[in-house]
Amino acid sequence: MPDKELSSMEHLKARSHYLRGNLAEDMADPLTGGVTEDSAQLLKFHGMYLQDDRDLRPERTKKKLEKAFGFMIRIRLPGGVITPQQWLALDEVARSYAGETLRLTTRQTFQMHGVLKFNVKTVLKRINQVALDTIAACGDDTRGVMAVSNPHQSRIHAVVYDIARRTSLHFKPKTHAYYEIFLDGEKVAGEGERDDVETIYGKTYMPRKFKIGFAVPPSNDIDVFAQDLGFIAIVGKKNAIEGWNVTVGGGMGMTHGEPETYPRIGDVLGFCRPNDLFAVAEAVCTIQRDWGDRSNRKHARLKYTLDDHGVDVFRAEIAKRAGGPLEKARAFKFTSNGDRYGWTEGENGKHHLTLFVENGRLRDFPDGRRLLTGMRRVAEAHDGEIRITPNQNLIIANIAPENRETIERLVADHRMAENATALRRNSMACVALPTCGLALAESERYLPNLVTKIEERLAAYGLADENITLRMTGCPNGCARPYIAEIGLVGKGPDRYNLYLGAAFDGSRMNKLYREDLDGEAIVAALDPVFAAYAKERQKGERFGDFTVRAGFVAKTVNGLDFHKDVGAKRTA
């Protein structure tokens, strides 16, 4: 580690007494809906962001009002699996305290936005009653662990989900701060003064967020290459998991105008046996804990640690810490990072329904689509489970055959499965404005109309039914993983986006910057000739992302370090 000054965040963590800081006091201050800057940072470790309604900012001071603060609350939900009973609790708090809407995230969990500070404890206590919490849902720790949502392989899914759940527990911070501050739990005397509370993390936790995910080919729905640490299941002949390919160093975030920051696709470092999985995971985690850059938060993710030290050094260190080297990686094949919609039947004879949820937004829309109410009715009638996919969609899973008709009727009655076009179904947007403090441009509120316009162009070339991935984010931090979308749009300013093309449909290759600073109209205009060429020149079965590289519209991105190289439109018509 270079001997550089630690970032202020590191000092804050160190003096926070295991994430307590002044949070309890700040949460109780009745005059402000916010908390201090330090407390806002610590909140993240407890699964919450302090946000404010940016639409309202211009008028607030004039009206003698502070910012319109609201808390974003993210649930820790490994594998995105939730019981109907848990769903009903979330529905209840969303209706009462979170603007009557729930948001499905790109990491298979729920977010509630705009929760008043004074209602946060009520919400957390309520969800605690159904065994849900928000611990480490954000912050410098092991975030929500992802797992394949694919409903076809019900047996494998059950195994992988169980591993994801145990991984989440294994890496869950041990501090009792969350229980003390938010659940009125008993104070653990002296815990803040001890040195041995966090057996994995230590007092300063991780240098930066740390994401883990489990994929099962052929589905790469979790975008395993975007995870800091990914596991790709190698399924043997008897439909049993023989072991895992280990990927390290994925991550989406970057900063505009700072080429030393870049998104990166994880490297497959090798293969491990099921029994070694936790040892490997802990090895990678602790290497990053010890080697990660704690002076510069823009250079603190595992992907930079890996590039700084090199893959070979990193692999050797894993061998040292995990008690043995990784084996040679096994062959695997992904076909897509998207979801398959509609009804399927699992191996266990149960039925599954995958529902498209545009940008993950569950609410009762003014046009009569009642997704929130509909899902509550489903949860009331359903005896299986509900899964959130990494593409912000829902799977009503393990429906007994005799219940299928009921679910079908509820879905129809509440207009929950309106036929969406191919592009829309393959699109994702982050939340962005008005709640996200990082957003430079609109995203969730902007994408639906843009999709409509892009689809008009696709239809003009007979491409309306093509599955093309389109992802938009309001800033370059990459929550909707835009750099592994065939069409990526990243906000730079109000109605200004960078357009990226050329990623692989299965999420194994990133895209490349094609055009900069486009408004909505210019985006459509820039895509139109590419669609025209795709319709005319594509080879049989050729994906749009692959085509744009082969046909010379953009250079191919091989890895993170060349993401910013050779950018720009190589061809425009």
Partner 1 sequence: MAGHPTIPKTAPFGDEEIALLNRVVGPATATQRAWLAGFLAGLESAAGGAAQTAAPARPAEPITVLYASESGNCERLANDFAKAARKNALKPTLIDMADLDLATLPAIKRLVVIAATWGEGDPPARAVRAFNELMSDRAPRLEGVEFGVLALGDTAYVEFCAIGKKLDERLGKLGARRVADRVDCDLDFAEPAGKWIAETVKTFAPADAANSKVIEVDFTKPAAPPNLDIVEAEITEHLNLNSSRSDKETIHLALSFDGAAPAYEPGDSLDVYAENDPAYVDELLKLAGLSADDKLRNDLIKSRDVTTLSLKTIETYAAQTGHQYVKALIADGQAKEWIAGRQLIDLIATFPIALTADHLRAVTRPLAPRAYSIASSRREVGDEAHLLVSAVRYETHRRARKGVASNFIAERLKKGGRVRVKLRPNRHFALPAPDRDIIMVGPGTGVAPFRAFVQERRATGATGRSWLFFGDRQFTHDFLYQLDWQEALKDGALTRMDVAFSRDTPEKVYVQHKMWEQRRGLIEWLDGGATFYVCGDAKSMAKDVRATLVHVYADVKGIAPETAEQAVAALERDKRYLTDTY
Interface ranges with partner 1 (CB under 8 A): 30-33, 53, 56, 59-66, 68-70, 96-97, 116, 118-119, 122
If the CB atoms of residues 60 and 187 are measured against partner 1, the closer one turns out to be: 60
Tokens 């920051």 -> residue: 261
From 143, 301, 376, 509, active-site residue: 143
Least Å distance between CB 60 and partner 1?
7
Residue 491 CA to residue 432 CA, distance in Å, equals 9
Shortest Cβ 37–partner 1 spacing (Å):
16
Tokens of 36: 């201090």
Partners of 513 in the β-ladder? 500
Taking the least distance from each CB to partner 1, the nearer of 93 and 439 is 93
- The catalytic position among 436, 457, 471, 512 is 436
Whose Cβ is closer to partner 1: residue 32's or residue 449's?
A: 32
272 catalytic residue (yes or no) = no
Q: How many Å apart are CA 459 and CA 279, to the nearest integer? A: 51
Give 363 or 564: the residue with its C-beta nearer to partner 1: 363
Q: Which of 13, 44, 74, 425 is catalytic?
A: 74
List 430, 457, 509, 515, catalytic entry: 430
Write the CA distances from 126 to 13, 97, 171, 494, integer angstroms. Answer: 28, 11, 24, 38
339, 149 contact by CB (below 8 A):
yes
Q: Least separation, in Å, of the C-beta of 51 and partner 1?
A: 12
Nearer to partner 1 among residue 34 and residue 144 (C-beta): 34
- Shortest Cβ 91–partner 1 spacing (Å): 14
Is residue 430 part of the annotated active site? The answer reads yes
Do the Cβ atoms of 394 and 387 come closer than 8 Å?
A: yes
Interatomic CA distance for residues 238 and 475, integer angstroms: 45
Please work out, in degrees rounded to the nearest 5, the angle formed at the alpha carbon of residue 519 by the alpha carbons of 516 and 521: 120
Please say whether the beta carbons of 106 and 469 come within 8 A.
no
Tokens 């704690």 -> residue: 294
Q: How far is the CB of 21 from partner 1 (least distance, A)?
A: 21
Complex with partner 1: residue 62 or 333, whichever CB lies closer: 62
Please provide residue 507's backbone torsions phi and psi, each rounded to the nearest 5 degrees.
80, 15
Closest CB 16 distance from partner 1, rounded Å = 25
Q: From the candidates 44, 172, 211, 471, which is the catalytic residue?
A: 211
Residue-wise over 127-136: b if at least 16 C-beta within 10 A, else e? Answer: bbeeebbbbb
List 490's β-bridge partners, or say none: 473, 498
Nearer to partner 1, 53 or 408 (CB): 53
Q: 10 Å Cβ neighbour count for 520?
A: 18
- The phi, psi pair for 427, rounded to 5°, reads -110, 155
Residue 475 catalytic?
Answer: yes
Pairing of strands 351-355, 394-399: antiparallel
Type and span of the H or E element at 422: helix 422-425
Block residue for tokens 């201090």: 36
In angstroms, give the least distance from the CB of 367 to partner 1: 22
CA 521/CA 119 separation, integer angstroms? 42
Q: Which residue numbers are catalytic?
A: 74, 143, 209, 211, 430, 436, 475, 479
